[in-house]
Structure 1
Amino acid sequence: MINGLFVGDWSELEGEIRARWTKLTEEDIDLVRDDIKKLESIVQIRYELPEEESIAEVEEFHKVWTNRNFQ
């Protein structure tokens, strides 16, 4: 489980989040900002996923984002 924040250019990250989870609303994106836990919760709600699945999706997204932007 990842705790904390996404790091990097928010506008780029926001675009990536929008592309990955198209059901998220503008308000959802504003709530998330860079908080991983909030993103996990909102993905779970919007996509009606079990908690474990939404956590796994966001963790994988975070891993790819981090690797791409900080290596």
Structure 2
Amino acid sequence: MNWDEIKGNWTQVKGKAQQQWGKLTNDDMDIVEGKREELVGKIQERYGIAKEEAEKQVDDFCDKY
């Protein structure tokens, strides 16, 4: 699934994203609203990882779904 598909189906996909990144809150997911860069930023913030690692995780998530 590419990011445009994820963005278009965000309501359904955000539950899977929360399973993947359990530290993300419902408020975080509402802020993200399907925006890739917002998701990367929230993952960086909650997990204390580098942007490159967060982007890799998001890319892996896209490939998985």
TM-score range for the pair, normalised by the shorter chain length: 0.7 to 0.9
Tell me which residue corresponds to 2:39.
39
Q: TM-score, normalised by structure 1?
A: 0.76
Residue 7 (structure 1) shift: 4.0
Tell me which residue corresponds to 2:62.
62
Residue 55 (structure 1) shift: 0.6
Q: Mind listing any 5+ residue stretches in structure 1 that lack a counterpart? A: 66-71
Indicate the structure with greater helix content: 2
In structure 2, what is the Cα distance between the partners aligned to 1:44 and 1:15? 19
In structure 1, what is the Cα distance between the partners aligned to 2:33 and 2:59? 16
Superposed, 1:15-30 pairs within 5 Å as: 15-30=15-30
Q: TM-score, normalised by structure 2?
A: 0.82
Count of aligned positions: 63
Q: Is contact 2:8–2:34 with CA below 8 Å preserved after alignment?
A: no
Q: Tell which structure's C-alpha radius of gyration is larger.
A: 1
User: What percent identity do the matched residue pairs reach?
Assistant: 29
Q: Mind listing any 5+ residue stretches in structure 2 that lack a counterpart? A: none
Which consecutive segments of 4 or more residues in structure 1 shift more than 3 A? none
Residue 53 (structure 1) shift: 0.5
